[in-house]
Chains A and B, each alone.
Chain A
Amino acid sequence: MTPDSSPAGGGQFGEPAVRRRVRIQTGPPPGSRPKTNGAGAGPAALEPVFDVRNVSLSYGSTPAVERITLKIYRNMVTAIIGPSGCGKTTFLRCLNRMNDSIPGFGIDGELLYHGHDVYGSRVNRVEVRRRIGMVFQKPNPFAKSIYDNVAWAPRNLGLKSGLDGRVERALRDTALWDEVKDRLKASALGLSGGQQQRLCIARAIAIEPDVLLLDEPASALDPIATAAIEELMHVLKRRYTIVIVTHNMQQAARVADRTAFFSLDTAGGKRVGTLIEYDDTERIFTNPRDPRTRDYVTGRFG
């Protein structure tokens, strides 16, 4: 069921941009705090955390993602889905400047975080990441004890008072406390994959960031561990803004309030990732505007 507009193949940027323009007009005035925003709340209650304007990313002379425009809203889970190689992870990593260390990485356009340019000249990268945490595809705990994995960053950031309580809270929030409370001094490397990944999330939230970026956090885990992590996201979004990249469409449908569908644009001989459609998750999965989104979410692509 394609809605009104969307002339075939035309305006994959134009169309969402138009919709966003409408949203800006109906959104709250800048600076005002929304009172409520439960899952699936109407656009009127949304406060943007990220305002991505016409952002293009490239490695050397190879463009990776082109002209992304979208807003990521506070206390929501925003999922980014799409086929392999469409730049989902590249886009996610540019949000907290994790791509900076890759030689040749370049960014064009404007990336605003609470109104501040993330790539501005006076921006401190370490401070960006202190506020915007990230959890990676493969669990990567440090070769330290379970306790020290969680306590290491707070210690380094000077959050030393009440450290035990902070560690316990982070482990409780990730539903790990009961499993590890008797062996906090044991090596984190002895945990199962699912536990390790939850420990990595605990490590990230122990410093109470503003945003959590999750890069396919469950792709290396079995369904039970995956369910635990998805459950976690529903709890964590009350306090954090979450952006998750996932290959798993069911996962996006289960956890995300908003979903962005990225795909490859092969026009002009080069394969470049682009944003096809961005909307409420329900809309993306039941009534997408773009036929490419519909083909993808129904498994009819290629």
Chain B
Amino acid sequence: MSDLFDPTQPLTATGNLRRREAVNRLASGGARAAALLAVAVLGVVVYSVAQRGAGSLSLSFLIKPPPLFGGPGGGIGPEIVGTIILVALATAIAMPLGVLVALYVTEFAGRRSGRVIRAALDLMQGFPSVIVGLLIFGLLVAGTGQSGYAGSIALAIIMLPLIARSSQEVILLVPGSLREAADALGVSRWRTIRGVVLPAALGGILTGTILAVGRAAGETAPLIFCDSIFNASAFSTNLFAANHAIPNIPFEIFTLSEQADPSSFSRAWGAALVLLGLILVANFAARALLAHSRRRHAG
């Protein structure tokens, strides 16, 4: 027989259970509302971009260059190609570096140096992109002129901490028992990482990289410094030519939105919609790639 309650009473709420249930409802309701709000904001952004941008979408918009001296007509063909090239190079720089940094922090670093690097990465993540742009402007642009690689390097600096931090989180999730199993087989550390740790963490690394790609593809500030003065009559897609900036979507959106011509506004929305679409396509492509490699490796 309990002193706290009478076990023979009907099984309805007693004591402070009603109050506890009310708190419970409040908390779960709040969480649900916040989640809905986040999805709603995403919906509003996508919808408004799609609504205003869809009008200017056409095949010629996707492949033609912008008009030489402003005004209506033309497309953003070179900008699309340019953005893909810029982000591809930035990813090619930032992803291997980011994964290596993550591996260093999780697998090799001592407790102290690991903490220092994690803190540094967090700081880097908070860097205003304007400052990254200025830095690269000072290092690579001033004197030699703008170039595609300068823009890519600026984007890579923005992507690096994002990729390193998210990779580090998923590498930490790889069960220690798998590392032990590999260790106990007399396999060296790097082989273990390549054969066991990285395959298990691949999904998360890829997700983090896609997030970073999305972020970099829309970065405007560093590109204004490093990659914004084009020769409109002869577009360059050569990443490594000094003094040859590569056209890109974010800067084009910025330029178009500065112009007085209302048709420029609708083209700016169109370009924004294309950018969103590109990021979405990259996302799906990476996921398909991941599913494919899962079937092959874990199969």
Contacts and interface: CB of A to CB of B under 8 A. Distances in A.
A203 interface: yes
Nearest to B110: A103
B290 to A, nearest CB: 14
B120 interface: no
Contact of A98 (B180, B187, B189, B297): B180
Given A143-B199, A185-B299, A157 B186 contact: yes
A5 interface: no
Contact of B184 (A133, A143, A186, A189): A133
B81 to A, nearest CB: 38
Nearest to A187: B298
B195 interface: yes
Contacts of A138: 177
B181 interface: yes
Interface stretch (A38-46, A67-75, A122-130, A266-274): A122-130
Interface in B121-175: 175
Determine chain A's interface SS by DSSP, over half rule: mixed
B32 interface: no
B196 interface: yes
Given A140-B178, A143-B199, A157 B187 contact: yes
Given A156-B191, A156-B195, A140 B185 contact: no
Interface residues of B, number: 22
B99 interface: no
Contacts of A156: 185, 187-188, 191, 195
A98 B184 contact: yes
A277 to B, nearest CB: 28
A204 interface: yes
B111 interface: yes
Contact of A207 (B183, B186, B188, B299): B186
B216 interface: no
A142 B178 contact: yes
Contact of A152 (B111, B188, B195, B200): B195
Contact size range, A: 20 to 34
Given A140-B177, A140-B178, A187-B299, A103 B111 contact: yes
Contacts of A143: 199-200, 297-298
Interface in A141-166: 141-145, 152-153, 156-157
A96 interface: yes
A127 B299 CA distance: 31
A16 B47 CA distance: 80
A243 interface: no
B263 to A, nearest CB: 54
Contact of A129 (B175, B185, B297, B299): B185
Nearest to A125: B183
A203 to B, nearest CB: 7
Given A143-B298, A157-B187, A136 B195 contact: no
B299 A186 contact: yes
Listed residue (B177, B183, B191) with the most chain A CB atoms within 10 angstroms of its CB: B183
B297 A153 contact: no
Nearest to A127: B186
Contacts of B187: 126, 152-153, 156-157
A152 B178 CA distance: 13
A101 B110 CA distance: 11
Interface of B: 111, 175, 177-178, 180-189, 191, 195-196, 199-200, 297-299
17 contacts: A96-B184, A101-B183, A103-B111, A133-B184, A134-B180, A136-B181, A141-B181, A142-B182, A144-B297, A152-B185, A152-B187, A156-B191, A187-B298, A187-B299, A200-B181, A204-B185, A207-B185
Q: Which 5 A-B pairs have the closest CB atoms?
A: A130-B186, A134-B184, A153-B185, A140-B177, A129-B186
